């Protein structure tokens, strides 16, 4: 998600520095980077960002990441904004170093888009739908009503994890969903800056 968004960001720092005569007065300096993932670069994202913050001295860092959701309905239909930073990989059990004001020393805005869910979420949401269908047909069933009111995610996850069945899954049309969401996020960032 992040690299696709930054390809649409209006980057201005280099123009302001080298061709100021072509820039409208009041234009903000904007830079962008796609640092990659630890498995590819061998460097934690926060380490890359610390180097940038120490050398460039930005006033703010905006980080963009895909998120794991606890609801199928939130996939590519929610934009999460936070001023408390982000912990990359936390949603899929691969926690990386935190990116926040605490680690960078400047404000961090995190923009997250849910793009994946665990199998346990799928099963739990599907179970809720199935119970609703049974309730509609049965009109009254205390056990189903009780089951429907409970969040069964933890119990389902406990059953799936020992067999390595708690997969991280994404919709088959994820590429199209990301294309749509990257335009929305980039437009929001460009308009705000």
pLDDT for 2 beyond 80: yes
pLDDT at 132: 75
Rounded distance, CA 99 to CA 119, Å? 27
Confidence of residue 72 (pLDDT cuts 50, 70, 90): confident
Section 69-93 average pLDDT: 83
In this structure, is the dihedral angle defined by the CA atoms of residues 176, 83, 100 and 33, taken in order, positive or negative?
A: positive
Cβ atoms within 10 Å of 75's Cβ, excluding its own: 22
Binning pLDDT at 50, 70 and 90, where does residue 92 land? low
Best-predicted range by mean pLDDT among 72-81, 164-173, 178-187?
178-187
Q: Are residues 80 and 156 in the same domain?
A: no
Q: Using 50, 70 and 90 to split pLDDT, how confident is the model at 138?
A: low
Q: What is d(CA 43, CA 179) in angstroms, rounded to the nearest whole number?
A: 27
User: Which tops the pLDDT comparison, 168 or 49?
Assistant: 49
Q: Residues 72, 157: one domain? A: no
Range of the domain at 125: 121-161
CATH, residue 179: 3.40.50.1450
In a domain, 166, yes or no: no
For residue 164, what pLDDT is reported?
Answer: 78
Same domain, 17 and 58: yes
Of 176, 167, 2, the C-alpha closest to 76 is 176
Judged by average pLDDT, the poorest of 17-31, 62-76, 137-151, 179-193 is 137-151
Residue 56 belongs to a domain: yes
Average pLDDT over the chain reads 86
Is the pLDDT score of 171 beyond 70? yes
Count of domains forming the chain: 2
Both 125 and 110 in one domain: the answer is: no
Q: What percent of the chain has pLDDT over 90?
A: 41
Instruction: Taking residues 72-90, report their average pLDDT.
Output: 86
Instruction: Tell me if 22 is assigned to some domain.
Output: yes
Determine the pLDDT at residue 91. Answer: 64
96 — pLDDT class (breaks 50, 70, 90): confident
Q: What CA–CA distance (Å, rounded) separates 184 from 5?
A: 9
Question: Do 154 and 67 share a domain, yes or no?
Answer: no
């Amino acid at each position: 998600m992040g690299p696709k968004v930054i390809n649409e960001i209006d980057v201005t720092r280099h123009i302001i520095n080298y061709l100021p005569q072509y820039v409208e007065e009041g234009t903000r300096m904007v830079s962008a980077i796609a640092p990659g993932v630890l498995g590819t670069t061998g460097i934690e994202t926060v380490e890359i960002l610390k180097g940038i913050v120490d050398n460039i001295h930005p006033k703010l860092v905006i980080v963009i990441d895909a998120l794991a959701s606890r609801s199928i309905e939130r996939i590519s239909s929610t934009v999460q904004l936070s001023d408390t930073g982000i912990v990359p990989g936390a949603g899929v059990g691969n926690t990386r170093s935190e990116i926040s004001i605490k680690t960078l020393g400047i404000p961090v805005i995190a923009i997250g888009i849910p793009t994946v869910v665990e199998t346990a979420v799928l099963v739990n949401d599907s179970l809720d739908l199935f119970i609703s269908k049974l309730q509609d047909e049965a009109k009254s069933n205390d056990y189903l009503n009780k089951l429907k009111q409970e969040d069964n995610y933890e119990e389902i996850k406990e059953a799936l994890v020992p067999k390595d069945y708690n997969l991280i899954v994404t919709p088959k049309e994820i590429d199209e969903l990301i294309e749509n969401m990257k335009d929305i996020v980039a437009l929001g960032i460009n308009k705000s800056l």
